[in-house]
Amino acid sequence: MSTNALSTLKLQGLPSTSVGSTDDFNDLAKGSNFLGRLTLFGGSSKACKKNLIPIGHFGIPVSADEVIDLGDSVDILPLARRPKAIDMSDKPVISVYDANDPEFKRIRALAGTKDSGCQFGPSFLVVERKTGRLLEYFLGAATHRPEAQKIYPALQLTEDDIKALAAQDQDVTDLKPHGPQPLTLKSKLVETEKNSWHVPVVLPCSTPFARLPKDEVLLEEATKFLTAKTELESDDKESPKSGRKR
């Protein structure tokens, strides 16, 4: 049958050509179970140098040659937070999520050193509006970390959370329980006499999220996010406690 014949073939009598929900098929098409990352790309990133995404845009890295471009503004719904320190100076890359872990403290101490390959800061589990995906948003750069203070209040606040804050002698007079609240992230260019770079700016968002992953997916991902242990990027068997190859 020719291509032209295919284009005129009447298919109205066929049953539905898709069985299952869009969420089901998106789940089946995932390449791995790793949580994707929401990233603000600066001019020094390899992705920008390879023209995979414009400088100052938010995106989701897919591979070394593919980035999902989300533009210079995105809406997020923050669901959870955790501390994170990452050492990218050698292979395997090490990620640590316990601020009291000696490895976390080692990475944090190195983060202020030029070209150390180390970062630390708050990491958030968020839903991104355009894709509807659950992603990690990590504010590990020194110029990005201050904006985390604007994300904290948008996280869900329960009665138990308020009681815990009160037990820490925090002022909870004006606090009331609420669910996660949407926020907008915008990209801002900062310029000095010698350098320029992009930073995120966190703003309120009045538009509610109409579409979210299923409740069981949210619960599963939040549990994994909050209980994650030290991670190695590759299958290298060297323990992160044994030190790094320099």
So what's the pLDDT on residue 19?
Answer: 57
For 126-171, what is each residue's pLDDT tens digit? 999 999 999 999 999 999 999 999 999 999 999 999 999 999 999 9
DSSP symbols for 45-63: SHHHHTTSS-TT-EEEEEE
Entry pTM: 0.81
- What is the phi/psi pair of residue 30, to 5°? -70, 140
- Number of CB atoms found within 10 A of residue 229's CB: 9
> HSE (CB half, 13 Å, CA atoms) of 63?
5
Nearest CA to 41 among 148, 182, 187? Answer: 187
- Please tell me the predicted confidence (pLDDT) of residue 236: 41
Rounded to whole angstroms, the Cα distance separating 207 from 233 reads: 36
Q: 155 by DSSP, 3-state: which?
A: coil
Phi and psi at residue 104, in whole multiples of 5°? -60, -45
Residue type, 109: A
Residue 138, helix vs strand vs coil: strand
Please give the residue that has the higher pLDDT: either 4 or 88.
88
Mean pLDDT, rounded, of the chain:
85
Alpha carbon distance 73, 59 (integer Å)? 10
Whole-number Å distance between alpha carbons of 200 and 126: 15
CA 23 to chain centre: 20
The three-class DSSP label of residue 77 is strand
Q: What is the band of 222 on the pLDDT scale with cuts at 50, 70, 90?
A: very high
Q: Give the pLDDT score at 230.
A: 87
Q: Are 85 and 240 in contact (CB under 8 A)?
A: no
Q: Residue 112 — very low, low, confident or very high, per pLDDT cuts 50/70/90? A: confident
155-212 pLDDT, tens digit per residue, is 999 999 999 999 999 999 999 999 999 999 999 999 888 888 899 999 999 888 988 9
Candidates 161, 13, 65; CA nearest to 53 is: 65
More confidently predicted of 5 and 117: 117
Model pLDDT, residue 44 = 82
For residues 212-232, give the mean pLDDT. Answer: 92
User: CB within 8 A of 23, min separation 6: which ones?
Assistant: 213, 214, 217
| Whether pLDDT at 246 is above 60 | no
Q: What is d(CA 147, CA 121) in angstroms, rounded to the nearest whole number?
A: 11
